[in-house]
């Protein structure tokens, strides 16, 4: 069918018409999409592919790794290291940065990823995904490590040149932004390519649906508690309407629902580990999702400031996340900024 637009054609057209995507970036995005296809195949095989269960190792953040966390990380590295588009990569599953080896050509981009998001859902056959962010390597003298350092990665999210995620669910869906709105592609398995299904996703500004891990309620700070209490009060409360709740425990799947029908997602700072700003990681979870959400007309803050304006100080830095339908995110953020009580957050 000639009306079907593949990811390749979409990227070429964006490059030609809008001049938004330089050739290196276009090829890089195609390679990431190809890697996601490979991960999707492993996910689909499940137990018969021997990919389920724990790898019995820990990552730098002290989290137990699943076999698929490691497989997805390797697929992304092997697909991306030789093409000449990248200078280096960083991942949730690697302590430090991975510099493209000398035997391969060096490119001008930096790729960050959460290879497998929603690890606790792998073995129970619930949607999981991959999240990625692309930055430009700052200009600098060629030195050790081909002139790339961890410092080069520590750029605020507003410097991203591309961001996306792939959900491995009932369908395999890739969502992408290069700063000109948000496009969605579904994998056609017979044809082996991602097909454009929506090229201007918009998140409704209002919602009646929230996503938060309610089991942490007793640990929340006052503004989050207030917001959720008001949602729970429903029609009879100050909001004057009933709210629904969803929590998939895979950020990709929760964010994808919000892109599809609106909603608010929160993983806020809480008192369990007061010295940590939150659970989710700024550079390869919060930043790409925040940009996608903003590009779709939503908002994303840490309760106090726009996530995309946070200056990172560490590769694996954590952050409070409040994102989704604009008016709801602004409401929770106002509750934080107007709070004059109790202990301050650690940010």
Binding residues for ligand AHG, per CB under 6 A?
63, 92, 114, 117-120, 213, 249-251, 267, 279
Q: Which of 36, 71, 117, 279 binds Mn ion (CB under 5 A)?
A: 117
Q: Residue 122: helix, strand or coil by DSSP?
A: helix
Scanning 77-85, 90-98, 161-169, 183-191 for contacts with Mn ion by CB under 5 A, the matching segment is: 90-98
Task: Report the alpha-carbon distance of residue 94 to residue 12 in Å, rounded.
Answer: 32
Task: Report the alpha-carbon distance of residue 176 to residue 188 in Å, rounded.
Answer: 17
**b/e map 253-288, b = 16+ CB within 10 Å:** bbbbbbbeebbbbbbbbbeeeeeebbbbbbbbbbbb
Q: Could you tell which of ligand AHG, Mn ion, none binds residue 249, using a CB distance below 5 to 8 A set by kind?
A: ligand AHG
Minimum CB separation of residue 237 from Mn ion in Å reads 33
Residue 307 contacts residue 300 (beta carbons within 8 Å):
yes
Nearer to ligand AHG, 219 or 239 (CB): 219
* φ, ψ for residue 181, nearest 5 deg: 90, 180
Minimum CB separation of residue 16 from ligand AHG in Å reads 36
Minimum CB separation of residue 123 from ligand AHG in Å reads 12
Residue 116 contacts residue 130 (beta carbons within 8 Å):
yes
Q: Which of 81, 114, 209, 294 binds Mn ion (CB under 5 A)?
A: 114
Q: How many residues bind Mn ion (CB under 5 A)?
A: 4
Taken as a whole, the chain contains a residue count of: 347
Sequence-separated (6 or more) residues with CB below 8 Å from residue 21: 11, 14, 15, 29, 162, 178
What angle is formed at CA 258 by the lines to CA 257 and CA 264, rounded to 5 degrees? 130
| DSSP letter string, 82-118 | SSSSEEEEEETT-SS-EEPPTTS---SEEEEEEEEE-
Scanning 21-29, 111-119, 121-129, 154-162 for contacts with Mn ion by CB under 5 A, the matching segment is: 111-119
Q: Which two structure tokens, joined as six digits, stand for 331?
A: 């409401």
**C-alpha distances in angstroms, 63 versus 69, 119, 125, 285, 326?**
11, 10, 20, 16, 32
Residue 326 contacts residue 293 (beta carbons within 8 Å):
no
* φ, ψ for residue 2, nearest 5 deg: -70, -20
Scanning 58-66, 107-115, 155-163, 238-246 for contacts with Mn ion by CB under 5 A, the matching segment is: 107-115
Minimum CB separation of residue 280 from ligand AHG in Å reads 6
Nearer to ligand AHG, 194 or 284 (CB): 284
Minimum CB separation of residue 167 from ligand AHG in Å reads 11
Nearer to ligand AHG, 19 or 62 (CB): 62
Nearer to Mn ion, 231 or 280 (CB): 280
Nearer to ligand AHG, 85 or 281 (CB): 281
Minimum CB separation of residue 119 from ligand AHG in Å reads 4
* 254 binding Mn ion? (CB under 5 A): no
What angle is formed at CA 308 by the lines to CA 304 and CA 310, rounded to 5 degrees? 60
CB atoms within 10 A of CB 34: 16
Minimum CB separation of residue 173 from ligand AHG in Å reads 16
Q: Which of 36, 65, 90, 92 binds Mn ion (CB under 5 A)?
A: 92
Q: Could you tell which of ligand AHG, Mn ion, none binds residue 311, using a CB distance below 5 to 8 A set by kind?
A: none
Q: Could you tell which of ligand AHG, Mn ion, none binds residue 120, using a CB distance below 5 to 8 A set by kind?
A: ligand AHG
Minimum CB separation of residue 128 from ligand AHG in Å reads 8
What is the contact surface with Mn ion in residues (CB under 5 A)? Answer: 92, 114, 116-117
């Amino acid at each position: 069918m000639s009306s079907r637009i593949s990811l390749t054609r979409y990227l070429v057209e964006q490059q030609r018409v809008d001049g938004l995507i330089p050739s290196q970036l276009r090829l890089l995005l195609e390679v990431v999409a190809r890697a996601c296809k490979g991960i999707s195949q492993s996910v689909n095989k499940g137990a018969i592919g021997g990919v389920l269960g724990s790898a019995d190792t820990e990552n730098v953040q002290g989290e137990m790794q699943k076999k698929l966390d490691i497989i997805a990380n390797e697929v992304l590295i092997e697909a991306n290291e030789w093409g000449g588009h990248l200078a280096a990569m960083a991942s949730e599953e690697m302590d430090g940065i991975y510099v493209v080896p000398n035997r391969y050509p060096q490119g001008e981009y930096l790729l960050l990823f959460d290879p497998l998001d929603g690890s606790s859902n792998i073995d129970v056959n619930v949607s999981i995904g991959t999240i990625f962010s692309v930055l430009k390597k700052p200009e600098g003298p060629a030195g050790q490590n081909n002139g790339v350092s961890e410092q080069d990665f520590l750029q605020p999210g507003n410097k991203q040149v591309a961001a996306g995620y792939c959900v491995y669910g009932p369908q395999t869906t890739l969502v992408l932004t290069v700063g000109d709105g948000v496009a969605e592609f579904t994998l056609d398995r017979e044809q082996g390519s991602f097909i454009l299904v929506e090229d201007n996703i918009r998140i409704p500004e209002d919602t009646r649906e929230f996503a938060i891990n309610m089991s942490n309620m007793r640990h929340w700070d006052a503004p989050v508690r207030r917001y959720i209490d008001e949602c729970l009060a429903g029609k009879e409360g100050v909001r004057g309407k009933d709210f629904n709740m969803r929590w998939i425990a895979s950020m990709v799947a929760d964010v994808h629902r919000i892109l599809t029908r609106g909603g608010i997602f929160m993983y806020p700072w809480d008192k369990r580990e007061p010295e940590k700003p939150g659970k989710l990681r700024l550079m390869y979870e919060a930043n790409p999702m925040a940009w996608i959400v903003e590009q779709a007309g939503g908002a994303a803050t840490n309760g106090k400031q726009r996530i995309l304006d946070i200056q990172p100080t560490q590769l694996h830095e954590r952050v409070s996340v409040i994102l989704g339908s604009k008016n709801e995110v602004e409401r929770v953020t106002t509750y934080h900024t107007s709070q004059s009580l109790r202990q301050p957050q650690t940010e």
